[in-house]
């Protein structure tokens, strides 16, 4: 396993943050313990990426974008690795509108 990265922060794209909270609210209304599990899995994934930013496979030929598939939930964290930052681009459901988040990526 590669050496852990140090002194890295993270931030959610505003629309990714909206996606996260929308799903969290939906789950909270149905089953609060499942909502807590979703929250823990998303932030567990984020903290893994802070330690090992290249843990997720690259999307496309450029290694600028990567993904971290959640284990229990049908969601994927789409993220960009920057020198001191992990930027969460999307909290994307596996089956809903594939690739919709691409417009969020600066070219």
- DSSP states of the chain as a string? -PPPP-S-EEEE-HHHHHHHHHHHHHHHHH-HHHHHHHHHHHHHHHHHHHH-TT-SPBSSSSSSEEEEE-SSSSEEEEEEEETTEEEEEEEEESSSSTTGGGGGS--
pLDDT score, position 65: 92
Share of the chain above pLDDT 90, in %: 69
Residues 61-88 have a mean pLDDT of 91
Per-residue pLDDT band at 107 (split at 50, 70, 90): low
Using the predicted structure, report yes or no on whether residue 76 has a pLDDT greater than 90: yes
Per the structure, how many domains does the chain have? 1
Q: Hey, which residues does 78 pair with through a beta bridge?
A: 67, 90
Domain that holds residue 23: 9-97
Residues 42-64 have a mean pLDDT of 90
Residue 104 maps to a domain: no
Residue 64 maps to a domain: yes
Whole-prediction pTM: 0.87
Using CA atoms, how far apart are residues 36 and 87, in angstroms rounded to an integer?
22
pLDDT score, position 64: 81
Using CA atoms, how far apart are residues 5 and 24, in angstroms rounded to an integer?
29
Residue 80 maps to a domain: yes
pLDDT score, position 94: 87
pLDDT score, position 1: 44
Per-residue pLDDT band at 13 (split at 50, 70, 90): very high
Residue 106 maps to a domain: no
Residue 14 maps to a domain: yes
The pair of three-digit structure tokens given for residue 9, joined into one six-digit string: 């922060």
CATH code (residue 56): 3.30.2310.20
């Amino acid at each position: 396993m590669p050496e852990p990265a140090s002194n890295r922060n993270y931030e959610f794209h505003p629309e990714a943050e909206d996606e996260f909270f929308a799903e969290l609210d939906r789950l909270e209304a149905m089953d609060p313990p499942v909502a807590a599990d979703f929250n823990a899995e998303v932030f567990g994934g984020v903290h893994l990426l802070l330690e090992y930013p290249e843990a997720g496979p690259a999307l496309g030929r450029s290694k600028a974008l990567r993904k971290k598939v959640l284990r229990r939930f049908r969601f994927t964290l789409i993220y960009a690795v920057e020198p001191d930052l992990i930027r969460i681009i999307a909290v994307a459901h596996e089956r809903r509108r594939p690739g919709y988040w691409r417009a969020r990526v600066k070219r």
